[in-house]
Structure 1
Amino acid sequence: MKKNIWTWLIIALSFIAGIISYSSLPATLPVHWNALGEPDRYTGKMFALFLIPALMVLLMLLFKYLPKIDPKLAASSSAIKSTDIINQVLMLGLAALQGFIIAYGYGVKLNIQMFVIPFIGILFITIGNYLPRMKPNRFVGIKTPLTLNNEQVWRKTHQLSAKIFFGGGFLIIVTVFLPSMLQLISFLTVVVLVSILSVISSVLVAKKN
């Protein structure tokens, strides 16, 4: 309950930040940046300022009601706690992104890549830390026919995938120090490899069982 209060507080502060800054910001604000970190898409400030808080509300409700949809997820207190923490990291990242957009509107030229890449790295590390606590369910985790049909394969796959996500998260953070184009290629390569290796791990685990 306390965790939900803090999450709703983050959402409320995001709405308040949008309301307070609305009148003093330019009519259009950037909402997308290219591979070089340059803004390449602008939209009206109403959409730019309140899309993220609205998305945060949707994510909050999604994480709140998933356990009610899947009885297996609802039966695991450790899985619910893990999804709550992952949700909080997402909320903090989205709130920071909204702050980034507001700062840009006030003329503070920040490097979006120096924010997004480390955040995704931290998110991967967080997921890696909590994957082993996930119990079999159809919404959260490495969901393949092999893991969903065998609880032991699920458990060992998530233990192995946790190391992949954890290591991948650190590699993602390291890419922020590379030159821009190499940074993008390295970042995307790590993300794709982590995703593929996590699925492959279920095949490798299933062959051993």
Structure 2
Amino acid sequence: MKLSRSLLVSLVFVAIALAAVLWLYPSLPPQVPVHWNLQGAPDGYRSRPWGAAMPVLIMAGLSFLLWLLPGISPRGFELSSFSSVYALLMLAVQAALLVILLAGLVASAGYAVSMWKVTSLSLGALLMVLGNFMGKLRKNFFIGIRTPWTLSSDAVWERTHRAGGWMFVATGALVMLAVAFGGPRWLTFALVLLMAAACVLYSLLVYRHIERR
């Protein structure tokens, strides 16, 4: 996917967010929930203008990053060698956030929406998409498993991202299964934290193995 085409898709996401805000704005309360706790109850609020504007601003910010990051990557860490994968993963992140943000607006407007389920399912799906393309990422400062050891070695980067891709896919599947079978809500966060720790530890172990060899 060319960057110009992906930027167009990204701007469509911004337009969808704007259309949803214009449609739901009259139904929003004076204080719009912008954060929900593990029990699914809102615990953070913004005034209606700012609460309604947040989805549009976040989508616009992600579109700006999609355009900006390739141009500011340092020499030796360019995104151009995997620009199609970079664009696809950035759009996947934007799409997942769009679903979560719009669900929050719909819930704030008085419709019955389980924010925990929407967030967990979106996160699980996103992890699976990221995992499927993780092995195609090349060393860079903006996207991927960026630890001191992956950034110091091409070999460590490649091996960590091949293994990390499987970890991401497995974690995403487990998160979605946990939601489908009514698992405890803390399990999603536990699985993601465990995956993150495993990726970091694996990169260290691979680095030490390569250095000794």
**Structure 2 residues not aligned, in runs of 5+:** none
Instruction: State the Cα distance separating 1:74 from its structure 2 match.
Output: 3.1
* Residue matched to 2:39: 36
Provide the C-alpha distance between the structure 2 equivalents of 1:75 and 1:58, rounded to a whole number of angstroms.
19
SS in 1 for 2:141: coil
Percent identity of paired positions between Structure 1 and Structure 2: 25
* Residue matched to 1:196: 197
CA distance change for structure 1 residues 144 and 46 in 2, over 3 Å: closer, same or farther?
same
* Residue matched to 2:108: 105
Structure 1 segment 77-116 matched on structure 2, within 5 A = 77-78=81-82, 80-116=83-119
CA distance change for structure 1 residues 145 and 104 in 2, over 3 Å: closer, same or farther?
closer
Count of equivalent residues: 206
Provide the C-alpha distance between the structure 1 equivalents of 2:195 and 2:175, rounded to a whole number of angstroms.
10
Instruction: State the Cα distance separating 1:75 from its structure 2 match.
Output: 5.2
- Alignment partner of 1:59 is 2:53: no
**Structure 1 residues not aligned, in runs of 5+:** none
CA distance change for structure 1 residues 102 and 75 in 2, over 3 Å: closer, same or farther?
closer
Contact 2:7–2:67 (Cα < 8 Å) also in 1:
no
* Residue matched to 1:176: 179
SS in 1 for 2:207: helix
SS in 1 for 2:10: helix
When the two chains are superposed, the root-mean-square deviation of aligned CA atoms in Å is 1.9
* Residue matched to 2:143: 140
Contact 2:145–2:199 (Cα < 8 Å) also in 1:
yes
CA distance change for structure 1 residues 24 and 69 in 2, over 3 Å: closer, same or farther?
same
Contact 2:104–2:115 (Cα < 8 Å) also in 1:
no
Contact 1:177–1:183 (Cα < 8 Å) also in 2:
no
Provide the C-alpha distance between the structure 2 equivalents of 1:73 and 1:118, rounded to a whole number of angstroms.
32
SS in 2 for 1:74: coil
TM-score (norm 2): 0.87
* Residue matched to 1:45: 48
Provide the C-alpha distance between the structure 2 equivalents of 1:75 and 1:62, rounded to a whole number of angstroms.
13
Provide the C-alpha distance between the structure 2 equivalents of 1:158 and 1:103, rounded to a whole number of angstroms.
37
Deviates more, 1:58-67 or 1:167-176: 58-67
Instruction: State the Cα distance separating 1:59 from its structure 2 match.
Output: 1.7
Provide the C-alpha distance between the structure 1 equivalents of 2:54 and 2:107, rounded to a whole number of angstroms.
16
CA distance change for structure 1 residues 76 and 205 in 2, over 3 Å: closer, same or farther?
farther
Deviates more, 1:153-162 or 1:24-33: 24-33
Q: Residue type matched to 2:191 in 1?
A: V
Q: Residue type matched to 1:183 in 2?
A: P
SS in 1 for 2:184: helix
Cα offsets for 1:18-76 (capped at 9, x unmatched): 12332343322221112111223332221111112101111221232112111344353
Q: Residue type matched to 1:97 in 2?
A: I
* Residue matched to 1:74: 78
CA distance change for structure 1 residues 108 and 143 in 2, over 3 Å: closer, same or farther?
same
TM-score (norm 1): 0.89
Structure 1 segment 148-167 matched on structure 2, within 5 A = 148-167=151-170
Contact 2:121–2:175 (Cα < 8 Å) also in 1:
yes
